[in-house]
Amino acid sequence: MSKICLCLTAKTISRNLELLDKYRKYIDMAELRVDCLDPDENFFIRHFPKQAGIPVILTIRRKQDGGNYLSGEGSRVSLLSRGLAFAESDKRHNFAYVDLEEDLDVPGLEEAVRTFGTRIIRSYHNFDGVEKITEKVRSLRKIGDEIVKIAVMPQNLQDVQTIYRNSRENTDGEKIILGMGPYGFNTRILCEKLGSFLSYTSETEDPEIPPGAPGLISPAELVEKYRFRDINSKTDIYGVVGFPLTTTFSPRIYNTVFSREKINAVYIPFPSLSLNYFLELAEELNIKGAAVTNPYKEEIINHLANVTDAVRVAGACNTIKVRGMPTKSIPGETITRAWSGTNTDTLGFTESLLKFLDRKHLRGQKITVIGAGGAARAVVSEIHRLKGKCLILNRTPVRARELASNYNFSWGGLDSQALDSMDRYSDIIIQTTPVGTFPDVGDDPFELYHFNGHETVMDLIYNPLETAFLKRAMAVGCRVLNGMDMLLRQAKYQYEYILDREFPEQLVPALLASLQK
């Protein structure tokens, strides 16, 4: 089973020991990053393994490999020797591992550490991309009992696919293979699938502590949010694809449900600048189903072998799953699995709004929808089904026109000309753009519009719960509804579609409390 290693990057030994205690219940081992310590602390590194009480890796990372060490190789080797000197017969008091880069040639030191049972992690870092990992693993492994470490920076999900494929081809000996940065995030969770010896983690709550490497999460998040300890070769993989995907609550929802329901599955965010790259990776990882979010809710439809009426009517899809049927091949693409898709934003939106209004339909209601993207498509199709009248306003007016023409609704741009029309469509205002989402919480999608206090205002954003737009509406007495209730409702239908099983309703209050926190 892959281990969890806490990367210790504090300036002092004592702070590192505090961090170790903070996360002790989640971790198997730690890495002392000596290059992050204040120089005076270097005198005390030899005693660290005994103080830590768990296996520790000794690492002095150079600047060129992503660390802080700037002095020459001679002094680095002396410092390594200081950490490894006076080995004790009780191995627990020595460093269990030492990280030596591939180009560091110190046979004397290596011989000494082997004699006293310290294992060598032979490491290689590439911050510019991904190369042929299979060959690299072979060339790095000098002696059988070394652990080979390859840390690369994928530039997209196609690079990530290469990492998994190469790792599968390479089964000899122990290895650590990981992808850094946002695209490689999934490799930190799916260590078992990569056959990786460990996953590195880092303190993430204290801004004074630098992350050990790009993309590290805390041990608590790895275990509690991403089920690291439960993942094995049989674990089913689900996820969400979109870009930039900085705000997604669905991993928390799904992984909580998987955990409580004892389902051997994990749910992972896959930020991707290309939908094709995600679909190819889905093939490699055997991803069984996924949520699809902006900007891919329309594009995904071209890749589906089968869609529900909800997709057909809305012209947008937010949920896909693998169907057990032959391939729909797309010319020029290597994607071979057959996907089905549905749209759960529609039902999620309707249930949330009608419950809030205590109504069964929208007959007689004049509604403005701000935005004309994937979510707006679902919202507008439901307003039409529920007999409401609608004005669609969008930054790019031609998209508003195109959407409105499907239903004979009114449309316009987000400009002063729209204000007159909006006065006539102000029973309900529904904000469907991402403007105002964390971290840009001060942004407002339509500052020109002044609420009169009689509107009901719904914002589909759920992070933050009160957007700048909603705050303005509340300030003059409007009734407001945020996107959290819709999120949970659509997630429930999504779960039922993808997993073909009932959503455990009894978990909703706990999920809501956890998400609101």
List, by residue number, the catalytic residues.
297
Place of tokens 């978990």: 507
* 304 phi/psi in degrees, rounded to 5: -100, 135
Rounded to whole angstroms, the Cα distance separating 215 from 232 reads 22
Candidate segments 16-24, 232-240, 464-472, 485-493, binder of ligand NAP by CB under 6 A: 485-493
The yes or no reply on residue 275 touching ligand NAP (CB under 6 A) is no
The yes or no reply on residue 371 touching ligand NAP (CB under 6 A) is yes
Which residues does 512 contact at the CB level (< 8 Å), separation at least 6?
A: 484, 488
Which residues does 442 contact at the CB level (< 8 Å), separation at least 6?
A: 436, 468
- Cβ(60)–Cβ(35) below 8 Å: yes
Strands 319-322 and 339-342: antiparallel
The yes or no reply on residue 250 touching ligand NAP (CB under 6 A) is no
The yes or no reply on residue 113 touching ligand NAP (CB under 6 A) is no
Here's the x/- map for ligand NAP, 328-367, by CB under 6 A: it reads as -----------------x--x-------------------
Side chain identity at 431, as an amino acid letter? Q
Candidate segments 82-90, 166-174, 205-213, 291-299, binder of ligand NAP by CB under 6 A: 291-299
Binding residue (CB under 6 A) for ligand NAP from 187, 433, 467, 494: 433
The yes or no reply on residue 293 touching ligand NAP (CB under 6 A) is yes
CB of residue 183 to ligand NAP, shortest distance in Å: 20
Candidate segments 131-139, 268-276, 327-335, 429-437, binder of ligand NAP by CB under 6 A: 429-437
Here's the x/- map for ligand NAP, 386-425, by CB under 6 A: it reads as --------xxx--x--------------------------
Q: Where are the beta strands (DSSP E) in 332-471?
A: 339-342, 366-370, 389-394, 410-413, 428-431, 456-459
CB of residue 196 to ligand NAP, shortest distance in Å: 32
Rounded to whole angstroms, the Cα distance separating 391 from 380 reads 9
Closest to ligand NAP by CB, 234 vs 517, is 517
The yes or no reply on residue 435 touching ligand NAP (CB under 6 A) is yes
**CB count in 10 Å sphere of residue 119:** 16
Give the angle subtended at the CA of 184 by the CAs of 183 and 186, to the nearest 5°. 100
Closest to ligand NAP by CB, 192 vs 351, is 351
Q: Which of residues 316-335 bind ligand NAP (CB under 6 A)?
A: none
Size of the site for ligand NAP (CB under 6 A): 29
Closest to ligand NAP by CB, 196 vs 350, is 350
Binding residue (CB under 6 A) for ligand NAP from 187, 432, 467, 494: 432
Binding residue (CB under 6 A) for ligand NAP from 374, 410, 494, 515: 374
Q: How far is CA 7 from CA 18, 20, 397, in A?
A: 13, 9, 50
Helix (H) or strand (E) holding 125: strand 119-126
C-alpha torsion sign, points 199, 203, 204, 210: negative
Burial 7-32 (b: 16+ CB within 10 A, else e): bbbbbebebbbebbebbeebbebbbb
State CA 467 to chain mean position distance: 22
Candidate segments 113-121, 208-216, 327-335, 433-441, binder of ligand NAP by CB under 6 A: 433-441
Instruction: At 366, list the tokens.
Output: 């004049």
* 172 phi/psi in degrees, rounded to 5: -80, 130
CB of residue 316 to ligand NAP, shortest distance in Å: 8
Q: Provide the 3-class DSSP secondary structure of residue 202.
A: strand
Beta bridge pairs of residue 121: 99, 147
**CB count in 10 Å sphere of residue 114:** 14
The yes or no reply on residue 381 touching ligand NAP (CB under 6 A) is no
Closest to ligand NAP by CB, 224 vs 298, is 298
Rounded to whole angstroms, the Cα distance separating 320 from 331 reads 21
Candidate segments 9-17, 217-225, 230-238, 480-488, binder of ligand NAP by CB under 6 A: 480-488
Rounded to whole angstroms, the Cα distance separating 93 from 56 reads 10
CB of residue 275 to ligand NAP, shortest distance in Å: 13
Binding residue (CB under 6 A) for ligand NAP from 94, 186, 365, 490: 490
Rounded to whole angstroms, the Cα distance separating 174 from 169 reads 13
Closest to ligand NAP by CB, 23 vs 349, is 349
Closest to ligand NAP by CB, 109 vs 508, is 508
Q: Which residues bind ligand NAP (CB under 6 A)?
A: 293-295, 297, 345, 348, 371-376, 394-396, 399, 432-435, 437, 445, 460-462, 483, 486-487, 490
